[in-house]
């Protein structure tokens, strides 16, 4: 049966343009010690919004075109089994940035995000776009900060856009609406905004991700001579799925293949494991063709985002900064595109929790790792790459051993959560090497053999044959709760 799932090893270290963005200056750099004398001086942290791993070419997609992410993967370490902690943006992003499992465990007066730690040690620290939580579309339309932690930044820049009100062919796919008129479009705060696509007029230079790339390029040019941590947040493919028309052309909706569905698929899933957004609840079940159009719109917005990442990476190379900069690319969580008739996020199944994670850094040989990792591991990894002491607050573990050896393992499972409250979750998941486990309380569980059933169709939680596997996962989950209770600070 399973070996002990808990694993907390001692971790070793390795290595020693014009823009329309809205700027808010936080203040002068904190007076502190100089950055460490290591080959890596800078951090470029890039996060995409709602990007599922299986959409990316380097993660196996044969449909969606992501050449720039794929190139980054060839140059760095690709983690095939990286998992988000929160199932929504609002809990996932601060958890990642503070390396604290839940928002309830973050005390801003005590804890620091990794950009704040570096800022206080002399690094220039900038946020461009969405890093912590922003309402998409609300904060994007207004150009406002959303839920931010301003002590993290020397400067911050919000990149606004019209979102669903962008001129072009608008489609409300769950309502079967197609129009070019601006009337009655579903935008910020409306009920059906999650299923909106816009094939926009123009080249995309008025879009928030294009502006974010412009601003990132501008900052790289201005701050290339001193150590920096630049956090760049793209909002696509988060809905509304807006991209120039040309990005839709490679994705003909009639050629899209929907994921496998099975009759009575939900019968062995607890009610808590079924997200609010399904084909039936959204109305997409009435329009099978529009389900395929959801895929084309998602892919188009992914490829548009990928092109903006490519522009930034090209400038990083042109400036000669790759020799001194560690690049981290990830997403805040995954996404459902019709698997099990599920759409969007907000649940603990594989498509919603597995994320892309790529780290390219001087001294790190390109490779692929199948080791289990969590997004809270990014913070201590950045500290190790820069030769900076990791604060005791961090719940995550450094990925430095895996960067040195892709076969190294630092944990036996990855932990995720969700619930009615993103601050105090009620539902939990553990992803092991061969198994996926979910616990909703009151004896409601899911258990999947990921080797035989990677698409999670056969819930084995009620099968007596696997009671020892369940026992080990329950024990491991209890140990995780004990860890979080004991490690308050």
CATH of domain 22-163+204-407: 3.40.720.10
Rounded mean pLDDT of 17-36? 39
Residue 284 has pLDDT above 60, yes or no: yes
* pLDDT of the residue at 419: 74
210-219, 374-383, 416-425: lowest mean pLDDT where?
416-425
* pLDDT of the residue at 35: 43
* pLDDT of the residue at 489: 66
Residue 149 has pLDDT above 70, yes or no: yes
Helix axes 288-318, 67-75, angle to 10 degrees: 50
Residue 76 has pLDDT above 80, yes or no: yes
Q: Specify whether the CB–CB gap between 383 and 115 falls below 8 A.
A: no
- Tokens encoding 306: 């990928």
Measured between alpha carbons, how far is 295 from 56 in angstroms, rounded to an integer? 13
* pLDDT of the residue at 119: 98
Rounded mean pLDDT of 333-346? 97
Which residues touch 9 (CB under 8 Å, ≥6 apart)? 397, 410
Residue 102 has pLDDT above 60, yes or no: yes
Q: What DSSP line would sit under 188-213, residue for residue?
A: TT-TTGGGEEEEESS-STTSHHHHHH
Residue 14 has pLDDT above 80, yes or no: no
- Alpha-carbon distances of 17 from 20, 219, 347, rounded to whole Å: 10, 9, 41
Residue linked to tokens 């007596």: 464
* pLDDT of the residue at 426: 83
Regarding predicted confidence, which is higher, 417 or 1? 417
The percent of residues above 90 in pLDDT, for the chain, comes to: 88
Rounded mean pLDDT of 133-137? 95
Q: 19-50 burial by CB neighbour count: b if 16+ within 10 A, else e?
A: bebbeeebeeeeeeeebbebebbbbbbbbbbb
Rounded mean pLDDT of 249-272? 97
* pLDDT of the residue at 420: 53
Rounded mean pLDDT of 294-303? 98
Secondary structure of residue 244 in the 3-state scheme: strand
Q: How big is the chain by its Cα radius of gyration, in Å? A: 22
Rounded mean pLDDT of 229-240? 98
Residue linked to tokens 């393992």: 409
Regarding predicted confidence, which is higher, 352 or 424? 352
The length of the chain in residues reads 489
Residue linked to tokens 């002068």: 28
Rounded mean pLDDT of 433-439? 97
164 by Cβ neighbours in 10 Å (0-12 / 13-18 / 19+) ranks as: buried
Rounded mean pLDDT of 235-251? 98
Kindly report, residue by residue over 347-396, the tens digit of the pLDDT.
Answer: 999 999 999 999 999 999 999 999 999 999 999 999 999 999 999 999 99
Give residue limits of the domains in the chain.
Answer: 22-163+204-407
């Amino acid at each position: 049966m399973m070996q002990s799932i808990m694993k907390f090893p001692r971790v070793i270290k390795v290595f020693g343009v014009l823009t329309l963005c809205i700027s808010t200056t936080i203040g002068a750099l904190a007076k502190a010690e100089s950055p460490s004398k290591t080959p890596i001086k800078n951090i470029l942290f890039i996060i995409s919004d709602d990007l599922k791993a299986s959409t990316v070419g380097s993660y196996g997609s044969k449909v969606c075109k992501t050449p720039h992410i794929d190139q980054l993967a060839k140059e760095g370490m690709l983690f095939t089994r990286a998992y988000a902690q929160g199932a929504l943006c609002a809990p996932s992003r601060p958890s990642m940035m503070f390396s604290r499992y839940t928002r309830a465990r973050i005390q801003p007066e005590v804890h620091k995000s990794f950009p704040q730690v570096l800022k206080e040690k002399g690094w220039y620290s900038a946020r461009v776009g969405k890093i912590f939580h922003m309402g998409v579309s609300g904060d994007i339309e207004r150009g406002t900060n959303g839920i931010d932690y301003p002590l993290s930044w020397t400067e911050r820049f919000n990149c606004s856009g019209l979102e669903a009100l962008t001129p072009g062919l608008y489609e409300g796919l769950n309502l079967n609406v197609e129009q070019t008129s601006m009337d009655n479009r579903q935008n910020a705060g409306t009920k059906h905004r999650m299923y909106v696509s816009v094939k926009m007029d123009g080249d995309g230079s008025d879009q928030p991700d294009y502006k974010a790339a412009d601003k990132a390029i501008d900052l790289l040019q201005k701050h290339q001579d001193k150590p920096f941590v630049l956090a760049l947040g793209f909002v696509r493919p988060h809905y509304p799925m807006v991209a120039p028309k040309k990005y839709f052309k490679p994705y003909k909706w009639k050629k899209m293949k929907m994921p496998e569905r099975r009759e009575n698929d939900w019968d062995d899933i607890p009610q808590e494991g079924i997200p609010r957004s399904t084909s039936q609840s959204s109305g997409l079940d009435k329009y099978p063709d529009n389900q395929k159009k959801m895929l084309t719109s998602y892919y188009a917005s992914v490829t548009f985002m990928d092109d903006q990442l490519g522009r930034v990476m090209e400038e990083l190379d042109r400036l000669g900064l790759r020799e001194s900069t560690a690049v981290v690319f990830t997403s805040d969580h995954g996404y459902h595109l019709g698997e099990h008739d599920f759409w969007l996020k907000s649940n603990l199944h594989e498509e919603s929790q597995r994320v892309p994670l790529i780290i390219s850094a001087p001294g790190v040989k390109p490779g692929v790792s199948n080791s289990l990792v969590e997004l809270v591991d990014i913070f201590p990894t950045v500290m190790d790459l820069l030769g900076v002491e990791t604060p005791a607050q961090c719940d995550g573990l450094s990925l430095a051993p895996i960067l040195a050896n892709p076969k190294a393992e630092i944990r036996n499972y990855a932990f995720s959560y969700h619930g009615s409250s993103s601050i105090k979750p009620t539902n939990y998941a553990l992803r092991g090497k061969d198994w996926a486990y979910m616990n909703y309380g009151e004896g409601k569980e899911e258990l999947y053999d990921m080797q035989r059933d990677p698409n999670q169709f056969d819930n084995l939680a009620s099968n007596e044959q696997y009671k020892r596997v369940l026992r080990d996962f329950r024990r491991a989950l209890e140990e995780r709760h004990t860890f979080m209770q004991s490690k308050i600070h």
